[in-house]
Structure 1
Amino acid sequence: MTPTAIHHDDCRTRFIFDDMPVRGLHVRLENVWQHIVNQKNYPAAIRRALGELLAAGSLLSGNLKTEGTLILQVQGQGRLKMLVVEATSAHTVRATARWDETAAIGDNDSLNELLGDNGVFVLTLQPKEGDPWQGVVPLEGGSIAQMLTHYMKRSEQLDTHVVLAADDAACGGLLVQRLPEEILNDDAWAHVSTLAQTVTAEELTTLDAQHVLYRLFHETPPRVFPAENLEFACTCSRGKVSDMLLMLGGEEVGGVVAEQGSIAVDCDFCHEKYVFDETDVNALFGADIVDAVRQEAKRVQ
């Protein structure tokens, strides 16, 4: 394997070592990442953590065995409330974060400082067919990569090494993992994982897979599979918002419309705005819920 001049902006690349039971993935996202970070004015520390989680989700979704969606969430009770990434078997991703926008957030604040106490890492698999599966573990480690490594070891009993990076221009990641139910010499695994640890943040955000893998493993080159293109796609829809309003109930939705004339819901991922006026919500609930709210307000006055 020799490096080429090909430059991949939004690609995930699988590789495997033929002489040892170790597989891996590399990902680098540039255009997709730019689309996501331009949706909100993310503080630098949160932007960096979100980019790392996006790279992590893009890596892990490469191992999906069925059609569906992989959701990674990091939740806390500090200034940073939540990071969430969704990656699908159709090679699409989306990501967002929620935080206390009134709080001061330094550029170099650590993830643990931002999340505060009782943070959790949540991995959810929503197959296209069948029941969803979810794993929840306390946060361990001071970075997304460390949290993910601990999760894989604790929940799937798989030795995994992950390196992630994100800056203003791009995000990227590298994952190497022992194949399940295969015997691997500990020295061989230590050799591969140690080499993986030497990849730098700059290399992950600026170099394509061939350059990174050649730099790391040129003495024992892996077999590299064709790159897969990843794209940003949001799964929000007016129908899904309608379902959410139905769950809120006619009294609450009708009350908002009676007071404000309509109810508006913004998608947290793509900022698409869905507006429902009085006619819309009455049709949605199959009754004149807005007038019912107005009549009830008059009755109790």
Structure 2
Amino acid sequence: MPDTDSIHRFLFEHSSIRGNLVHLDATLRAVLETHPYPPAVRVQLGQALAAVALLSATIKFNGALILQVQGRGPLRTLVAQATSARTLRGIARWEGEVPMGASLAESCGEGRLVLTIERGGGEPYQGIVPLTGAGIGEALEHYFGASEQLPTRLWLAADDQRAAGLLLQRLPGEERGDEQEDDWHRVGMLAATVKAGELLGLTALDLLHRLYHEDDVRLFESEPLAFRCGCSRRRIEDMLRTLGEAEVRSMVTEQGAVTVTCEFCNRTYRLDAVDAGQLFAQGPRQTPSAVHH
């Protein structure tokens, strides 16, 4: 049985190279069930989720890592988010027909790739590069090359049930001698032989044996991944407070209630006249009414 909803770290004992392997199952399906995504969009979104999970395991942070792809083609937006708590969520927006099998550039047209790291209460870090390459993996490789960060390679695969990915990265602080360069080239060449079916169907142990049975590779224990949306009634209320009391009361008068639906999970929050009054009342917060689905 292939690994499910987990990420594995591994490293080459005698080379300055590390890697991650990710498999998404129920996590992916939970994301895809929130909207009626066409097949081509489901594949791209699945790959984006696998990619952001892989990248999040390469850094130490307390917050969220957000991958955004924005373009002018039929696939307008891809957003995938991974948190330091190993939770994932994502969303895509499209207009018209997104062709199956098309490259990322063909699906999105002219666009850009944005990586954002949100750390606790600190200032977020954001990097932006033009959208290039046949897929999200190549676009991210271009990002790391353009930003002069650690050399990074990615291989991604997804269908409407599973997503998987492999990441290789040079370790920081190592001298770049001829032997290290040869190792990096050889390890990458072997990874490039992996097929989508192998990424999706093989366990981490079996895949590493298939690719690197002649190398001394240390595989660490897996970490579980899960879908979880960051929305909450408190956050919705905080957002409504920024609109001001007059605006919120006007919306309640016109519509009978304020209804806000989270784009990521389709959960709906409803505030009626009583809720709106409590929202701007002085004193302790009242217990909120139930969330409606």
Q: TM-score, normalization: structure 2?
A: 0.90
Aligned positions of 1:203-242 closer than 5 A: 203-242=198-237
Partner of 1:63 in structure 2?
58
1:98 Cα deviation (Å)?
Answer: 1.7
Partner of 2:287 in structure 1?
none
Partner of 1:151 in structure 2?
143
Asked if the contact 2:2–2:201 (Cα under 8 Å) also holds between the matched residues in 1, the reply is: no
1:264 Cα deviation (Å)?
Answer: 1.0
Q: How many residues align?
A: 279
Q: Does 1:277 align with 2:290?
A: no
Q: Which moved more, 1:121-130 or 1:51-60?
A: 121-130
Counterpart AA for 2:202:
L
For residues 238-284 of structure 1, give each alpha carbon's deviation from its aligned partner in whole angstroms, at most 9, with x where no partner exists: 11111222233445433332221112111111111101112222332
Aligned positions of 1:13-32 closer than 5 A: 13-32=8-27
- Aligned counterpart in structure 2 of residue 180 of structure 1, from 169, 172, 179: 172
For residues 75-119 of structure 1, give each alpha carbon's deviation from its aligned partner in whole angstroms, at most 9, with x where no partner exists: 12332221111111111111111222xx233323432233233x1
Partner of 1:262 in structure 2?
257
Q: Which moved more, 1:261-270 or 1:72-81?
A: 72-81
Q: Does 1:246 align with 2:241?
A: yes
| Identity percentage of aligned residues | 45
Superposed structure 1 runs of 4+ greater than 4 Å apart: none
Q: Matches of 1:141 and 1:171 in 2, distance apart? A: 20
1:142 Cα deviation (Å)?
Answer: 2.3
1:183 Cα deviation (Å)?
Answer: 2.2
Q: TM-score, normalization: structure 1?
A: 0.87
1:186 Cα deviation (Å)?
Answer: 1.9
Q: Matches of 1:276 and 1:112 in 2, distance apart? A: 42
Q: Matches of 1:159 and 1:284 in 2, distance apart? A: 49
Asked if the contact 1:45–1:110 (Cα under 8 Å) also holds between the matched residues in 2, the reply is: no
Q: Matches of 1:258 and 1:62 in 2, distance apart? A: 48
Q: Matches of 1:156 and 1:110 in 2, distance apart? A: 25
For residues 46-95 of structure 1, give each alpha carbon's deviation from its aligned partner in whole angstroms, at most 9, with x where no partner exists: 11110001000110111221322111111123322211111111111111
Partner of 1:107 in structure 2?
100
SS in 2 for 1:243: helix
SS in 2 for 1:270: coil
Aligned positions of 1:116-155 closer than 5 A: 116-117=109-110, 119-155=111-147
Counterpart AA for 1:106:
P
Contiguous gaps of at least 5 residues in structure 1? 1-5, 288-301
Counterpart AA for 1:104:
E
Q: Which moved more, 1:8-17 or 1:106-115?
A: 106-115
Counterpart AA for 2:124:
P
Asked if the contact 1:112–1:142 (Cα under 8 Å) also holds between the matched residues in 2, the reply is: yes
Asked if the contact 1:170–1:206 (Cα under 8 Å) also holds between the matched residues in 2, the reply is: no
Q: Matches of 1:280 and 1:114 in 2, distance apart? A: 43
Across the aligned residues of Structure 1 and Structure 2, the Cα RMSD in angstroms comes to: 1.7
Contiguous gaps of at least 5 residues in structure 2? 283-293
SS in 2 for 1:63: coil
| Distance of aligned partners of 1:257 and 1:77 in 2 relative to their CA distance in 1, 3 Å threshold | farther
Q: Matches of 1:268 and 1:253 in 2, distance apart? A: 20
Partner of 1:45 in structure 2?
40
Q: Matches of 2:213 and 2:121 in 1, distance apart? A: 41
For residues 128-161 of structure 1, give each alpha carbon's deviation from its aligned partner in whole angstroms, at most 9, with x where no partner exists: 2422211122112121001111111222432111
Q: Matches of 2:71 and 2:244 in 1, distance apart? A: 29
SS in 2 for 1:275: strand
Q: Which moved more, 1:6-15 or 1:242-251?
A: 242-251
Q: Matches of 1:251 and 1:113 in 2, distance apart? A: 46
Q: Matches of 2:128 and 2:249 in 1, distance apart? A: 36
| Distance of aligned partners of 1:239 and 1:199 in 2 relative to their CA distance in 1, 3 Å threshold | same
Partner of 2:88 in structure 1?
93
Asked if the contact 1:91–1:231 (Cα under 8 Å) also holds between the matched residues in 2, the reply is: yes
Q: Matches of 2:88 and 2:148 in 1, distance apart? A: 23
Partner of 1:291 in structure 2?
none
SS in 2 for 1:242: helix
Higher-helix-fraction structure: 1
1:286 Cα deviation (Å)?
Answer: 4.1
